[in-house]
């Protein structure tokens, strides 16, 4: 089998067989196919697409390209969550211990932020001593003793995805639905979870701006889960405005801890509970997760989870020393808060990265002091900016200048939960 022939076949609109896609995954994982040929094939897929059978076969080949976690012997049902990325989306930090407090085992393999969207691992690394990299044995042990783990995916888990993702990032082939879906689902299938809830963000601050395209991605991933024996549901959620009040790393950890203690912003609590309920439903557990937030048991699991990975859950997290408050220039009602602009401001302040190898500031970010629909007076604080130095502060100030619109009409926030997508 010549890879050049497969490039030409997809370029001309042909359908790949499962054997051909297994060849692609094997050749990419083993370094047998050069980057320039893989890049050409990725572009052909992006332009010509893949049908359902091809996407299923590619996902299976990618999942089988490396090792699995081997979680079959755990005494609890296993459920996970994946978000397509947003602004202020620290839900994983509260959801994993909450679901564990309800009786689930939660093996949550997470990633780092890029651009204006934050990464769960970056947020947790603001906790002194916490480590993201665990061996498979450590993951299994922690799931048995604590019930939840949030960590980096090991190099052996669907290794072909790491190579394909790196090429997609630099060849303008990121937006292909079959490639996005197979990337996400191959890792979750290799992980060995019984159930999966997908939080598919839609709106200005999301990777996907269009509702129809979000439905397409959600349906594709739900179908892939069903095809591989993973009970999967997708929840489409709004990302025109930031989620919660905190956008950054340490400040999002603090906000998640508030939620775990039964408080926190109402929208973060709403989404955390909605996703937890789906996870429990998928494995047949009848528990009200709200009780686990309000009685403190979810927070107790969080503390154990952080300690198990070397962190100090009681540590006071360092925040940026350079700070500035942005105030309203006029009185009125907050019509909108642009999640993309706020996310970019947090990135300029130092909370995000432009390249995967860049460092991030733990203490940088944006605190949103108002939400859509609030009445504000001229001079009232709207945002608090946090950075490590004045240069980053100045950059963040410029980025957030037009993030909020004040007008004369009343405006209520749009619903957070848009719709659910089942198989």
pLDDT digits (tens, 9 = 90+) for 283-320: 999 999 999 999 999 999 999 999 999 999 999 999 99
Q: What is the DSSP letter of 130?
A: -
pLDDT of residue 48: 97
Over residues 396-401, the mean pLDDT reads: 96
Over residues 224-232, the mean pLDDT reads: 96
- Tell me if 352 sits within 8 A of 221, measured CB to CB: no
pLDDT confidence bin for 419, thresholds 50/70/90 = very high
Higher pLDDT, 169 or 386: 386
| Range of weakest confidence among 11-25, 125-139, 147-161, 239-253 | 147-161
Which runs of E-coded beta strand occur in 163-316? 195-202, 231-238, 246-248
Over residues 153-171, the mean pLDDT reads: 86
pLDDT of residue 201: 96
70: left (phi over 0), alpha (psi -120 to 50) or beta: left
pLDDT confidence bin for 116, thresholds 50/70/90 = confident
pLDDT confidence bin for 156, thresholds 50/70/90 = confident
Task: Answer yes or no: is pLDDT of 210 > 80.
Answer: yes
pLDDT of residue 121: 93
* Nearest residue to 277 via CA among 267, 269, 287, 262: 287
Q: What is the dihedral angle through the alpha carbons of 54, 55, 56, 59, rounded to the nearest 10 degrees?
A: 120
In whole angstroms, give the CA distance from residue 358 to residue 114: 9
pLDDT confidence bin for 420, thresholds 50/70/90 = very high
Cross-strand partners of 117: 114
Over residues 130-148, the mean pLDDT reads: 94
pLDDT of residue 261: 96
| Residue 40: CB atoms within 10 Å | 19
Q: What is the dihedral angle through the alpha carbons of 365, 370, 376, 379, rounded to the nearest 10 degrees?
A: -20
In whole angstroms, give the CA distance from residue 42 to residue 178: 11
Q: What is the CA radius of gyration of the chain?
A: 21
Active site amino acids: 82, 161, 168, 183, 187
Over residues 228-236, the mean pLDDT reads: 97
Task: Answer yes or no: is pLDDT of 62 > 90.
Answer: yes
Backbone dihedral angles phi then psi of residue 35, each to the nearest 5 degrees:
-55, -40
Over residues 45-74, the mean pLDDT reads: 91
Q: To the nearest whole percent, how much of the chain has pLDDT over 70? A: 100
Backbone dihedral angles phi then psi of residue 154, each to the nearest 5 degrees:
-65, 155
Backbone dihedral angles phi then psi of residue 190, each to the nearest 5 degrees:
-65, -30
Over residues 100-114, the mean pLDDT reads: 90
- Tell me if 361 sits within 8 A of 392, measured CB to CB: yes
For the chain, the average pLDDT equals 94
Task: Answer yes or no: is pLDDT of 70 > 80.
Answer: no
pLDDT of residue 66: 87
pLDDT of residue 74: 83
Rounded (5°) CA angle 213-417-256: 110
pLDDT of residue 174: 84
For 211, counting Cβ atoms within 10 Å of its Cβ (0-12 exposed, 13-18 middle, 19+ buried), the class is middle
In whole angstroms, give the CA distance from residue 38 to residue 44: 10
Task: Answer yes or no: is pLDDT of 329 > 80.
Answer: yes
| Range of weakest confidence among 92-96, 164-168, 390-394 | 164-168
DSSP per residue, 316-338: PPP--SEEEEEE-SS-EEEEEE-
pTM: predicted TM-score of the whole model, two decimal places: 0.94
pLDDT digits 0-9 by tens, 167-187: 987 898 988 999 999 999 999
Helix (H) or strand (E) holding 152: strand 148-152
Tokens of 23: 């060849």
pLDDT confidence bin for 254, thresholds 50/70/90 = very high
Checking DSSP bridges between strand 381-387 and strand 332-337, what pairing results, if any? Answer: unpaired
Over residues 248-262, the mean pLDDT reads: 97
Task: Answer yes or no: is pLDDT of 411 > 80.
Answer: no
pLDDT confidence bin for 166, thresholds 50/70/90 = confident
pLDDT confidence bin for 153, thresholds 50/70/90 = confident
Domains delineated in the chain? 3-63 (1.20.970.10), 79-154+173-308 (3.40.1030.10), 322-407 (3.90.1170.30)
Over residues 137-160, the mean pLDDT reads: 91
Tokens of 282: 């998928």
pLDDT of residue 158: 86
Q: What is the dihedral angle through the alpha carbons of 11, 14, 17, 18, rounded to the nearest 10 degrees?
A: 50
DSSP per residue, 3-50: HHHHHHHHHTT----HHHHHHHHHHHHTT-S-HHHHHHHHHHHHHH--
In whole angstroms, give the CA distance from residue 241 to residue 342: 9
The 3-state DSSP class for residue 264 equals coil
pLDDT of residue 197: 98
pLDDT of residue 58: 97
Helix (H) or strand (E) holding 272: helix 266-283
Task: Answer yes or no: is pLDDT of 374 > 90.
Answer: yes
**Exposure string over 351-386, b if 16+ CB within 10 A, otherwise e:** bbbeeeeeebbbbbbbbbbbbbebebeeeeebbbbb
């Amino acid at each position: 089998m010549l890879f050049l022939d497969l490039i030409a076949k997809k370029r001309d609109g042909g359908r790949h067989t499962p054997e051909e896609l297994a060849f692609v995954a094997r050749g990419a994982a083993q370094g047998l196919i050069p980057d320039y040929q893989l890049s050409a094939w990725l572009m052909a897929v992006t332009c010509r697409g893949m049908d359902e059978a091809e996407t299923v076969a590619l996902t299976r080949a990618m999942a089988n390209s490396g090792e699995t976690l081997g979680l079959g012997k755990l005494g609890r049902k296993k459920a996970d969550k994946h978000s397509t990325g947003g602004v202020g989306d620290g839900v994983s930090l509260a959801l994993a211990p909450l679901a564990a407090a309800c009786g689930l085992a939660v093996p949550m393999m997470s990633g780092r932020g890029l651009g204006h969207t934050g990464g769960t691992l970056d947020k947790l690394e603001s906790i002194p001593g916490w480590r993201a990299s665990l061996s498979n044995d450590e993951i299994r042990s922690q799931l048995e003793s604590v019930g939840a783990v949030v960590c980096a995916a090991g190099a052996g888990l669907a290794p072909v995805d790491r190579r394909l993702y790196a090429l997609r990032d630099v060849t303008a082939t990121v937006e292909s639905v079959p490639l996005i879906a197979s990337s996400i689902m191959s890792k979750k299938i290799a992980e060995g979870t019984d159930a999966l809830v997908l939080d598919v963000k839609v709106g200005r601050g999301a990777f996907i701006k269009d509702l129809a395209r979000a439905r397409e991605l959600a349906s594709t991933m739900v179908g892939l889960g069903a095809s591989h024996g993973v009970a999967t549901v997708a929840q489409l959620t709004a990302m025109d405005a930031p989620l919660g009040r905190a956008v950054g790393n340490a400040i999002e950890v603090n906000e998640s801890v508030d939620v775990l203690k039964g408080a926190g912003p109402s929208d973060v609590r709403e989404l955390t509970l909605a996703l937890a309920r789906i996870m429990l439903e998928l494995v047949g557990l009848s528990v009200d997760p709200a009780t686990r937030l309000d009685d403190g048991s979810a927070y107790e699991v969080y503390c154990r989870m952080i300690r198990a990975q070397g962190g100090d859950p009681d540590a006071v997290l360092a925040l940026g020393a350079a700070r500035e408050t942005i105030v309203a220039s006029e009185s009125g009602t907050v019509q909108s808060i642009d999640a993309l602009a706020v996310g970019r401001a947090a990135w300029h302040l130092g909370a995000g990265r432009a390249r995967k190898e860049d460092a991030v500031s733990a203490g940088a970010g944006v605190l949103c002091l108002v939400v859509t629909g609030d009445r504000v007076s001229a001079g009232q604080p709207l945002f608090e900016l946090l950075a490590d130095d004045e240069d980053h502060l100045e950059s963040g100030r410029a980025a957030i200048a037009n993030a909020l619109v004040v007008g004369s009409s009343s405006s209520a926030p749009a619903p957070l939960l848009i719709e659910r997508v089942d198989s």
